[in-house]
Amino acid sequence: MVERTVQIGSTHGLHARPAKLFTKAAAAAGAPVTLQKGDGKPVNAASILGVISLGINHGDSVTLATDADNAETVLDGLAELLLTDHDA
């Protein structure tokens, strides 16, 4: 399992619009990806309800994890989405 921790870049956190972009990319990854806030329970990163339920705000640290064959590439793309301010 490969993990990557990043801080949320969107000014208003991971609300509906950036969460939709993120979950679509996670679903397209071709392997299961999880998202975890702090010590909380990891959720399916492709589930918009799961992602929104985490209540992720600007500056929060989250951990992505996957066991995909191309894990580094998958996590690079997803991390970039999380680091980007989609509210600018």
Instruction: Kindly list the structural domains of the chain, giving each domain's residue range(s) and its CATH number in brackets, ordered by start.
Output: 2-83 (3.30.1340.10)
Alpha-carbon distance 18 to 30, whole Å? 20
Active-site amino acid positions:
15
Query: What pLDDT, on the 0 to 100 scale, is given for residue 21?
Result: 96
Query: What pLDDT, on the 0 to 100 scale, is given for residue 59?
Result: 96
Query: What pLDDT, on the 0 to 100 scale, is given for residue 17?
Result: 92
Query: What pLDDT, on the 0 to 100 scale, is given for residue 88?
Result: 76
Query: What pLDDT, on the 0 to 100 scale, is given for residue 25?
Result: 97
**What angle in degrees, to the nearest 10, is found between the helix axes of 16-27 and 71-83?**
170
Mean pLDDT per 10-residue interval, the chain, length 88 residues: 96 94 96 96 98 97 96 96 91
Gyration radius of the chain's alpha carbons? 11
The residue with tokens 């997803």 is 78
Contact in structure between 80 and 25 (CB atoms under 8 Å)? no
Query: What pLDDT, on the 0 to 100 scale, is given for residue 81?
Result: 96
